[in-house]
Structure 1
């Protein structure tokens, strides 16, 4: 008799341990050392490495760890994972430590999954909930989304050092707000009528998350390191992860993330952040609800989001994403990817074709651009 597949019924809700505070990285060496004595540190770009390098070396020396490090490059891709697996084997690593943004953490988590080793995540920005989740996204070497991998557990240890996150550009937290707030708009439409207890809990937590972000984001951005800023960081990194853990894939991604996945296949979108593309994808999802279902509530919801986006600096249009010159062929390819048979967009309660998605993307951009101007300045105002 075959053994059951644990992934088919296991629920990966949360990391085994979360340590958070200001300047705590040097205080957690014991917790790291209990998980392994030969860590491989997987990091991202120069900024992430520079903000942890001296503290990491001090921690390694103090706890007599035999550590080495590697970068995920050129992206969180199959090529990169092959290289990282070889480095881990050569080092005889008994622990993986991921440091950086979403892709660095995804690469580290997947490496630990493949090597069957413990994993510690240390985010250096509030841009995603990747430090929390039992999921890794895989991209091409050029940064185009390929697929995601469900992992067998959440991280063994998540270290949230507010001082590290405060060194990140403000843009990263704004993007994290866009990624996190999508939880409500995606979970409510895909799972809002579910009778399942944990799904109900996830959807309601997504509503709470949205309200926290509406209330505190602007003040958080104005005062980095302040109380509201910390609460928003907790929301984007931790609470967003809770929702995905409780609700599973059904509450994790729908059309907003599908739009993101498609846009990554346009080369000009490479320098835009994950949450920026997701935030635009929320507007497109709402536009689809208007167009396909005639949902007037989606119209007012989109207008509310446009005001919120304006207040904190989230992108509202293809132009804001640097894609104003994208060709129709590129948009068609993006829409085809977003509407593939295995895409999360099909968790919407209605079917969507690539043609409908392109129309929603373009009309979302037109409405957003026209809404920035006083009516008298617009020669041909477009109605939502």
Structure 2
């Protein structure tokens, strides 16, 4: 039996949406625990507190710490028990919202409200949580039985986030097309076809509107791009399920999180991972469409400021040993990189990771050697 969690039960989106959402929150519970990062909790306190007080809700808050980790979740469960919470409200970026969703599930499938403070991911929408180590290394994901009960997109709140968070969200969202088209592009299943085509639509919207949106925060086109990164990106995973979720771009992200020197945020690493995936398709398969797509993306990345190389991610001093470590983690037996229609070995992935900006069809590598990787890193 295939069960899909396509969408939140209710989505409220508007400027000042928080002030309009009190009754919708109150219908879900009377003793909410607000979960977020330290900065996010401070950022929303002055607006969310009066809304909850007006509904006579008994609320308290708890920080998830630095990552959605097993230790963090254990501490949050204690906070749920102490407060006797019957509702979880997640506030913040992707990791905060993942922590809130997974906490609600682990505490007896409590209702959950998600309030994103940026447009950096689609975590506010999805029935999925990623779990990390205390050091920020990706460990595993957890599929949840339901999307959030309520998603509140307050455009005024999202607009307070730094510009680079929306840029990262664009990178994370646009990956849907490059990954879903590879993993599911030949499917004959109706909903998967729909998901793949929605991924194509999402890509086209972001190509057409991202530059204008970033130049005019708060404008109508800016809101459309926020909707694309937070909402439409979530729809694709909801319709297509795991088959339309991730391939090499997210696998590369996961590998990079295990490096002690990584500092970029999720969507930045994923957008770089798209280039790595296309480079693999180009080098290993001789895929001309992948070569063309990579050059198109490089131009788009330049326009909006997405990273194109390891150096752009702050990894200019990465060693061969560290590069190999990231590649091997990305290639672990359970990795989604194996959804690619061809086998990838460590040396191939390493070579792709250091040649994301190479001219189209350059350096046809067969076999790919560690010596080549050494040379390209040195350059």
Superposition TM-score tier, normalisation by shorter sequence: over 0.9
Q: Root-mean-square deviation (CA), in Å?
A: 1.5
Tell me the residue number matched to 2:351. Answer: 359
Give the equivalent residue in structure 1 for 2:327: 335
Q: How many residues align?
A: 362
Give the conservation status (yes or no) of the 8 Å contact 1:131–1:237: yes
Deviation at 1:74, TM superposition (A): 3.2
Question: 1:87 is matched with which residue: 69, 79, 83?
Answer: 79
Q: Which runs of structure 2 are paired with 1:274-313 in the superposition (5 Å)?
A: 274-313=266-305
**Which residue of structure 2 lines up, in the alignment, with residue 374 of structure 1?**
none
**Equivalent position to 2:167, from 171, 174, 185:** 174
Tell me how far 1:80 sits from its aligned partner.
0.3
- The Cα of 1:37 is off from its aligned counterpart by 0.3
Higher mean displacement: 323-332 or 48-57: 48-57
Whole-angstrom distance in 1 between the partners of 2:186 and 2:159: 39
Match of 1:248 among 231, 241, 248: 241
> Could you tell me which of 27, 30, 37 is aligned with 2:23?
30
When normalised by structure 1's length, the TM-score is 0.92
Aligned counterpart for 1:135 among listed residues 107, 128, 131: 128
CA distance in 2, matches of 1:317, 1:72: 31
- Displacement, 1:75? 1.2
Deviations 1:296-353 (A, max 9, x none): 1111110000000000000000000000101111111111110000001001111111
Q: Is the 8 A contact 2:32 2:89 kept in 1?
A: yes
Runs of 4+ with deviation above 2 angstroms = 365-368
Deviations 1:241-296 (A, max 9, x none): 00000001111111000000000011211x21100000000000000001110101
List alignment gaps of at least 5 residues for structure 1: 1-7, 371-380
Kept in 2: contact 1:318–1:365 (CA 8 A): no
1:64 aligns with 2:43: no
Equivalent residues in 2 for 1:202-281, closer than 5 Å: 202-269=195-262, 271-281=263-273
Residue in structure 1 matched with residue 339 of structure 2 by the alignment: 347
**Normalising to structure 2: TM-score of the pair?**
0.94
Distance 2:50 2:359 in 1: 53
Alignment match of 2:185 (pick from 181, 192, 200):
192
- List gaps (5 residues or longer) in structure 2: 363-375
